[in-house]
Amino acid sequence: MEKEKVITTKQLTKQFGDFTAVNGISFEVHKGEIFGFLGANGAGKTTAIKMLCGLLAPTSGEAAVAGFDVYKQAEKIKKNIGYMSQKFSLYDDLTVRENMRLFAGIYGMDRKTIKQRTEEKLKQLELEPQADDLVNSLPLGWKQKLAFSIAIFHDPKIVFLDEPTGGVDPLARKQFWEMIYTAAHNGITIFVTTHYMDEAEYCDRVTIMVDGEIKALDTPGNLKETYEAESIDEVFYKLARTATRKAD
């Protein structure tokens, strides 16, 4: 049986004047997959993610996310995905509970479901004692776990994680990835960028972008075999050092 595709792109391209930020990328991502999207600064991955999230219109090519066309249905894409960035995206001056309710409301969930889901998430995160504390009072690792829980609060088909563990200690990173595995097991597709190459090893498949193009896409094991490398870090270095541009 063919796996359900939640992202498809075909020759997806974005130009800014004479500069081609993303140059004809084509790939597919399947339901429940943990898909690593790697590239050095200037590779074009941020521009690609913005197009996939419905935030930036492509110049040419095709793309569908969660079954919706990036050109004609950008608003529907936004309603059916989750997003979390390295820069903490919740509101420090609201409580843990208030943040959950706010973002659930933005995603159009009804009050009864929001109330029930809030209590479930607080229990899962073991944050019930801190439910009415300001988010600003939480340690960074807890903030990031909270942000991830809120990003999947509405059961999106896919969640985009843009360097989500930056600055987080190793134990918190491990706990964060356990949450990712659980979400993927429950059918949520994970599209993740990271500068930690050991995290790339946890992905089902990894793509590496260089100068706006996809230079490699395969499982971590196959990539290491293809490039005769002992780690994804070594594979990444072999490809990234061929880059000619410096800024995204």
**157: CB partners within 8 A, 6+ apart:** 6, 31, 66, 67, 80, 81, 188, 189
The whole-angstrom distance between residue 33's C-alpha and the CA centroid of its chain comes to 12
Q: pTM score, two decimals?
A: 0.92
Parallel, antiparallel, or unpaired: how do β-strands 205-210 and 213-218 relate? antiparallel
* CA end-to-end distance (rounded Å), the chain: 39
Task: Give the residue among 184, 177, 223, 224 at the shortest CA–CA distance from 202.
Answer: 177
> What is the distance between the alpha carbons of residues 113 and 111, in angstroms, rounded to a whole number?
5
Whether 34 and 203 have beta carbons less than 8 Å apart is answered as: yes
Buried b (16+ CB within 10 A) or exposed e, 38-65: bbbebbbbbbbbbbbbbebebeebebbb
Paired residues of 69 in beta bridges: 64
Per-residue pLDDT of the chain (248 residues; tens, 9 = 90+): 678 999 999 999 999 999 999 999 999 999 999 999 999 888 999 899 999 999 999 999 999 999 999 999 999 998 899 999 877 678 999 999 999 999 999 888 999 999 999 999 999 999 999 999 999 999 888 888 899 999 999 999 999 998 888 777 888 889 999 999 999 999 999 999 988 888 999 999 999 999 999 999 999 999 999 999 999 999 999 998 888 876 54
Q: What are phi and psi of 8, to 5 degrees?
A: -135, 135
Task: Give the residue among 187, 188, 229, 189 at the shortest CA–CA distance from 208.
Answer: 229
